[in-house]
């Protein structure tokens, strides 16, 4: 069955051009706070236009298959996007990115199956496009699933390494490339299966040794990968909408990845292949000593509340612990109370606080924290020197002084918030377990530092009660 009003390819391409313009305007508007939300809608409209007009493509058949697929995908997409909590947003982005990459790989596999062994063989550019989509799409799919599993804590966040891992990965990648070349040369399905399997395993192996703290960079990197895989299917199918849409994401995603890497003072190569050398110490149980035996000082919520209430400036340093405990509203309440007493309250936002750049801003915006109180790292560090109490809520690696002082530390060189320059530090933390990077934090054994153990939300609520009672 073909649709009676199938349009000419020229008409369809014209509409694709209009859709591409909407996608471009959408990205443009997404990059400015005032227009961001409308930008998302404009891009979505462009996407709807591109998908809609594709139904009228000449020679298109099997509408039941297409409509059923879109229906199933829409239900899954709507339900998962509606159900997810704001804190779980990063892993959701990883998941959506993964299925996009998977779609590109499946398109490559299906086209290869249909065309090969073609009569007289396939054109070189089509073959190259198929192999590239299959390779990059599969890596993005399995890599994103591992990133999802790490963020969802289905897998440990620390780097998973084994001896000679890089040699193994190198050989695996070489073998996968060889399979791609063989598939292109022989046009045999078995080589395509080998290519897909190799690329899927490589995607897993690529992300496993990467520590949780680097996960935002990895997701952004894989996001760019999926864009390129989509663009590559555009070359296979000779479709300009795919080329433009995919390439825009490939390019902007690459730039975003570089910007994030720069914020952490690490090159992309270092993130991908510089698996943290030191084996992280296990120590997950709450206790009063770091795993190398340093003693830490505990404080009661009431004592901490008194310190806060009589400070002239308090700097809140939020981290992932605040996000998982959903403590942003309680923190806002605490800040309001303190401000009512004349205390200046500011927030120090590390570029990768939470799980992604900007993640913490989203969570604090949800709790209606005014923007001017949010300081980025460059502004926050000088302010910390004038701060009476730095209140660290569930942040760990981004406050670790070892990043400044200890060249042996895997974190060495990463810009951090100089929390230890404040007069006093109160750290809200569940227990003495190391952070997402799996490394002890010497901040905790600093004599200025007092620890308040417990769930971040419960602790902040106890502080609120304490300040009210002062």
Partner 1 sequence: MNAELIFSLTIFALAVFLGFELIARVPTLLHTPLMSGTNAIHGIVLVGAMLVAGTADSTLEQVLAFVAIVFGTVNVVGGFLVTDRMLDMFRRRPDRPDRAE
Catalytic residues: 397
Three-state DSSP at 374 gives: strand
Shortest reach from residue 336's CB to partner 1, in Å: 11
DSSP run (H or E) holding 39? helix 36-54
DSSP β-bridge partners for residue 450:
426
Residue 314: partners with Cβ closer than 8 Å, 6 or more residues away? 308, 335, 338, 343, 344, 345, 346, 387, 388, 389, 390, 391
Residues 339-358 that bind partner 1 (CB under 8 A): 351, 356-358
Residue 298 is given by DSSP the state B
Cβ atoms 195, 134 nearer than 8 A? yes
Give the E-state strand segments of 235-372 in sequence order.
Answer: 313-318, 344-349
Among 31, 166, 197, 312, binds partner 1 (CB under 8 A): 31
Among 7, 11, 15, 57, binds partner 1 (CB under 8 A): 57
Q: Scanning residues 277 to 316, which ones bind partner 1 (CB under 8 A)?
A: none
Distance CA 249, CA 446 (A): 45
CB closer to partner 1, 259 vs 279: 259
Tell me how far CA of residue 461 lies from CA of 39, 193, 328, 339, 467, in angstroms: 38, 55, 11, 16, 10
Using rule CB under 8 A, residue 24 touches partner 1: yes
Within 195-234, which residues bind partner 1 (CB under 8 A)?
Answer: 219-220, 223, 226-227, 229-231, 233-234
- 271 lines the binding site for partner 1 (CB under 8 A): no
Nearer Cβ to partner 1 (394/438): 394
376 interacts with partner 1 by CB under 8 A: yes
CA distance 159 to 157: 7
Give the residue, chosen from 243, 316, 419, 464, that forms a contact with partner 1 under the rule CB under 8 A.
243
Does residue 18 belong to the site contacting partner 1 (CB under 8 A)? no
SS3 content of the chain, % helix, strand, coil (to 5): 60, 5, 30
Q: Which pair of structure tokens corresponds to residue 236?
A: 């296979």
**Under the criterion CB under 8 A, does residue 365 sit at the interface with partner 1?**
yes
Of 95 and 307, nearer to partner 1 (C-beta) is 95
412 in contact with partner 1 (CB under 8 A): no
Out of 4, 5, 34, 162, the only residue in the binding site for partner 1 (CB under 8 A) is 34
Interface with partner 1 includes 327 (CB under 8 A)?
no
Contact positions with partner 1 (CB under 8 A) in 58-77:
59-62, 65-66, 68-70, 72-74, 76-77
Options 7, 106, 155, 172; binder of partner 1; rule CB under 8 A? 106
Residues in the chain: 470
Query: Which of residues 276 and 347 has its CB atom nearest to partner 1 in the complex?
Result: 347
Nearer to partner 1, 161 or 373 (CB): 373
CA distance 76 to 92: 12
Least distance from C-beta 34 to partner 1, angstroms? Answer: 7
């Amino acid at each position: 069955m073909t649709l009676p009003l199938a349009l000419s390819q020229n008409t369809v391409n014209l509409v694709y051009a209009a859709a591409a313009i909407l996608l471009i305007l959408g990205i443009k508007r997404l990059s400015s706070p005032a227009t961001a939300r409308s930008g998302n809608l404009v891009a979505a409209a462009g996407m709807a236009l591109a998908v809609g007009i594709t139904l009228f493509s000449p020679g298109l058949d099997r509408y039941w298959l297409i409509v059923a697929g879109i229906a199933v995908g829409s239900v899954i997409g709507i339900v998962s996007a509606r159900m997810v909590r704001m804190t779980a947003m990063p892993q959701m982005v990883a998941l959506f990115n993964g299925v996009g990459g998977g779609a590109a790989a499946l398109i490559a596999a299906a086209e290869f199956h249909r065309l090969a062994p073609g009569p007289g063989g396939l054109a070189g550019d089509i073959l190259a496009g198929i192999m590239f989509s299959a390779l990059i799409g599969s890596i993005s799919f399995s890599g994103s699933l591992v990133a999802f599993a790490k963020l969802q804590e289905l897998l440990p966040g620390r780097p998973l390494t084994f001896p000679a891992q890089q040699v193994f990965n190198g050989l695996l990648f070489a073998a996968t490339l060889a399979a791609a070349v063989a598939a292109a040369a022989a046009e045999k399905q078995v080589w395509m299966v080998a290519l897909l399997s190799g690329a899927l395993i490589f995607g897993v192996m690529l992300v496993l040794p990467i520590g949780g703290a680097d996960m935002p960079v990895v997701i952004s990197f894989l996001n760019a990968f999926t864009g390129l895989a989509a663009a590559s299917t555009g070359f296979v199918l000779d479709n300009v909408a795919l080329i433009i849409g995919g390439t825009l994401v490939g390019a902007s995603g690459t730039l975003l990845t570089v910007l994030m890497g720069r914020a952490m003072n690490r090159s992309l190569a270092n993130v991908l292949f510089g698996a943290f050398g030191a084996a992280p110490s296990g120590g997950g149980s709450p206790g009063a000593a770091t795993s190398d035996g340093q003693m830490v000082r505990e404080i009661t919520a009431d004592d901490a509340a008194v310190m806060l209430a009589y400070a002239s400036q308090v700097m809140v340093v939020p981290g992932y612990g605040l996000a998982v405990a959903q403590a942003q509203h309680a923190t806002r309440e605490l800040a309001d109370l303190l401000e009512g007493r004349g205390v200046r309250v500011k927030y120090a936002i590390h570029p990768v606080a939470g799980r992604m750049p900007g993640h913490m801003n989203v969570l604090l915006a949800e709790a209606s924290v005014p923007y001017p109180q949010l300081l980025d790292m460059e502004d926050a560090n000088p302010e910390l020197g004038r701060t009476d109490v730095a209140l660290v809520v569930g942040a760990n690696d981004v406050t670790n002084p070892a990043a400044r002082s200890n060249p042996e530390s895997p974190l060495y060189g990463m810009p951090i918030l100089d929390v230890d320059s404040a007069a006093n530090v109160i750290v809200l933390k569940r227990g003495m377990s190391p952070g997402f990077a799996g490394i002890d934090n010497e901040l905790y054994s600093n004599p200025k530092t007092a620890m308040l153990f417990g769930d971040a939300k419960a602790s902040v609520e106890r502080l609120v009660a304490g300040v009210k009672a002062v």
